[in-house]
Chain A
């Protein structure tokens, strides 16, 4: 039971970090040009 008290908050916190990262990247236009991003990864410079 004591283990759960620590583990569950940690699990939820990590989940929240993922969600926050997703919302942040959406706000920053990371999803605006998915096709272009795929190609830009191949750019040398």
Chain B
């Protein structure tokens, strides 16, 4: 199917933790009768063809008893036979990789969502009751009288009572917990109106009066639950997709025991002093010191430094550092609880505690709305009594007022907009984890970007080279075997040059790659000091040599994330200040800031200094959006008013963010801001509509003209108008600036210097 070639998905990012047979065993749950079950997430699943491809590929493996794809959650459930060997288990992952789906184990606990099924059940019950009561009410309105009318009312009461107790729980519990904390939220007037409407109707029926309002509270419940369920569903889906993004951090470590045996231990069981084996391509599981081996390490996710460093014995490495080229042995200096990662977590907790609680728009509206409504109802009761009406009529008017002003539209105004906005964001590849983040995103004054991994990708771009074109095929052949960022940069930059044939290709960790051509010459590709005989001649990062003679040199620049240039310009055109806050060296940050024309920049920042920078902004009265990905950004992400991270961010960074963007394109940032602003406008419009409705309906109710029929029509209409207004957001297209980004040119072709 053509859609499977879509390139708009999150590209597989380098440095994800790979899954071993041990990981599968650790994460599986035994179902008895010799079968175990594991759920793996595969973010690349996106259409029906994917279901068929994966299920038939896995179904043909004899170690797999059953495989089932869940397209909504982008997960694969695999039941495997416990007789399977390690190789067969690894074969499952390899099969998936061959079909083009990278899979990950879950980041958090696989969560069931009891809240969602509770909402859905409550919605089902409310829907059933609303329909039946409405049919009975229609019969009453069309002229049922006397005993028939009373019977219809009693049946309605019998249906409405249990429904309000069962489906209304959602609102009663929320209202009660708000009241206990001496606050008012939107659920307080809702709970009050439902209860009063039911009790008054019951009183009317007992006195076999003409009017009863059983349909009002029940259909109100149905509408509100529909909005709330949609809102919850959107957020649950976003959360589940976030937890399905690949994990970067190791779940366990291979420990070298005293007797020379290797054993896989879960990360919690790793103690200081243990010897750990870290293979090329894996991340360091806990802080440690290199005791044996030599390799290149990438610390960009940990500290934000973009330069690759060489790790030799004696070098300390933090948890999360990516080991690129050769295996190393580490002596653990911390366990999982005291590592660098956990100190960042402590800072995050502190930073978000200093945040203060944010009051949602709906709750602020309720604060104003509830007293006004309840006073109006009270005044109309007293007013009619003073005007000489009997208690029955005065009470009837009061209840009619309460029902007709019941914040049906108000209760829908926010959740509906948020649900639609979350759907709209998700179509742009942005996941919204909670609605408060959307409200705050609409209010920001400045955007702080991290540099490494956020404005740039991990792979350096080839900026230029010297040397003859005839030598390039050799460079390409050597570059393709290595995982080193420079090698990957060259392989990507010279992708359309065919590789030369070389034999005995081998990587020398910390130095480069070497090989022999058919004429016996030794080709080396890597750091000048190692590859070239006379290193005085070049300042380039990478050189190509033949028998020690320099043939070509390569220069690099940081590769901008796709759309970075446009995104920063778009953010500025929205009237926001842009800043770069990076842990990388000051001169690199300054260069990047000049290239992107940001308003200000700061380099060489420690995590605590990033927090300080954000807090300075906030104390100047500005509201800050932080965009970052690294472990070192996590505390700053937690400190900012709202934060965004790319899908390839560290788990800890993702967990601190309200929004995650899956596309590699940084234009997600201005898109999200524009959608948030539009959503905010719609929320305000919805409030205005709801209040306008009240201005018309309340006088009618207070003056005693509101019959149950009128109340039912007015309430439903206002709800539908609010929902229809929210749906306008679904087709909203944030305006884009067109124009070539310089980054795109650099990725495409190597530019001869």
Asked if B51 and A15 make an inter-chain contact with CB atoms under 8 angstroms apart, the answer reads: no
Asked if A39 and B47 make an inter-chain contact with CB atoms under 8 angstroms apart, the answer reads: yes
A21 and B87 CA atoms in complex are apart in Å by: 45
Contact of A36 among B71, B128, B131, B155 (CB under 8 A): B71
Q: Mark B38-73, 1 if CB is under 8 A from A, else 0.
A: 000000000110011000000000000000011111
B114 to chain A, nearest CB (A): 12
A31 and B237 CA atoms in complex are apart in Å by: 13
Which residues of B sit under 8 angstroms from A6, Cβ to Cβ? none
Q: In the complex where A15-B132, A23-B121, A26-B124 touch, is A32 in contact with B70 (Cβ < 8 A)?
A: yes
A15 and B71 CA atoms in complex are apart in Å by: 32
Asked if A33 and B72 make an inter-chain contact with CB atoms under 8 angstroms apart, the answer reads: yes
**Residues 140-188 of B contacting A (Cβ, < 8 Å):** 147-148, 151, 155, 159
Asked if B51 and A19 make an inter-chain contact with CB atoms under 8 angstroms apart, the answer reads: no
Asked if B124 and A8 make an inter-chain contact with CB atoms under 8 angstroms apart, the answer reads: no
Contact of A23 among B69, B124, B155 (CB under 8 A): B124
A4 and B117 CA atoms in complex are apart in Å by: 36
Asked if A22 and B124 make an inter-chain contact with CB atoms under 8 angstroms apart, the answer reads: yes
B436 contacts A by Cβ under 8 Å = no
Which residues of A sit under 8 angstroms from B541, Cβ to Cβ? none
B120 contacts A by Cβ under 8 Å = yes
The chain A residue sitting closest to B70, CB to CB, is A33
**Residues 28-44 of A contacting B (Cβ, < 8 Å):** 31-36, 38-40, 42-43
B159 to chain A, nearest CB (A): 8
B594 contacts A by Cβ under 8 Å = no
A42 and B52 CA atoms in complex are apart in Å by: 11
What would 11 A/B residue contacts be, using CB atoms closer than 8 Å?
A: A4-B148, A12-B132, A16-B128, A19-B124, A35-B72, A36-B51, A39-B47, A39-B48, A39-B71, A42-B48, A43-B48
A33 and B51 CA atoms in complex are apart in Å by: 12
**Residues 110-139 of B contacting A (Cβ, < 8 Å):** 117, 120-121, 124-125, 128, 131-132, 135
Asked if A35 and B71 make an inter-chain contact with CB atoms under 8 angstroms apart, the answer reads: yes
Asked if A19 and B148 make an inter-chain contact with CB atoms under 8 angstroms apart, the answer reads: no
A38 and B543 CA atoms in complex are apart in Å by: 55
Q: A15-B131, A23-B121, A26-B121 are in contact. List 6 more A-B contacts (CB 8 A).
A: A1-B148, A4-B151, A19-B125, A26-B120, A39-B48, A39-B51
Asked if B117 and A26 make an inter-chain contact with CB atoms under 8 angstroms apart, the answer reads: yes
A16 and B676 CA atoms in complex are apart in Å by: 42
Q: In the complex where A4-B148, A32-B70 touch, is A19 in contact with B128 (Cβ < 8 A)?
A: yes
Which residues of A sit under 8 angstroms from B48, Cβ to Cβ? 36, 38-40, 42-43
Which residues of A sit under 8 angstroms from B121, Cβ to Cβ? 23, 26
A38 to chain B, nearest CB (A): 8
Interface size for A (C-beta < 8 A) is 23
The chain A residue sitting closest to B151, CB to CB, is A4
Which residues of B sit under 8 angstroms from A35, Cβ to Cβ? 71-72
Q: In the complex where A8-B155, A12-B132, A43-B52 touch, is A36 in contact with B69 (Cβ < 8 A)?
A: yes
A15 and B127 CA atoms in complex are apart in Å by: 10
A16 and B70 CA atoms in complex are apart in Å by: 30
Asked if B132 and A34 make an inter-chain contact with CB atoms under 8 angstroms apart, the answer reads: no
A25 to chain B, nearest CB (A): 10
A40 and B68 CA atoms in complex are apart in Å by: 11
Which residues of B sit under 8 angstroms from A8, Cβ to Cβ? 155
The chain A residue sitting closest to B45, CB to CB, is A36
A16 and B125 CA atoms in complex are apart in Å by: 10
A33 and B237 CA atoms in complex are apart in Å by: 11
A34 and B411 CA atoms in complex are apart in Å by: 27
**Residues 86-103 of B contacting A (Cβ, < 8 Å):** none
The chain A residue sitting closest to B158, CB to CB, is A12
A22 to chain B, nearest CB (A): 5
Contact of B51 among A12, A26, A34, A40 (CB under 8 A): A40
Which residues of A sit under 8 angstroms from B71, Cβ to Cβ? 33, 35-36, 39
Closest 4 CB pairs of A and B: A39-B48, A36-B71, A19-B128, A35-B71
A44 to chain B, nearest CB (A): 9
Asked if B72 and A32 make an inter-chain contact with CB atoms under 8 angstroms apart, the answer reads: yes
A38 and B51 CA atoms in complex are apart in Å by: 11
Which residues of A sit under 8 angstroms from B120, Cβ to Cβ? 26, 31
Asked if B132 and A11 make an inter-chain contact with CB atoms under 8 angstroms apart, the answer reads: yes
Which residues of A sit under 8 angstroms from B69, Cβ to Cβ? 36
Which residues of A sit under 8 angstroms from B159, Cβ to Cβ? 12
A2 and B107 CA atoms in complex are apart in Å by: 63
Which residues of A sit under 8 angstroms from B135, Cβ to Cβ? 11
B186 to chain A, nearest CB (A): 27
Contact of A34 among B72, B117, B147 (CB under 8 A): B72
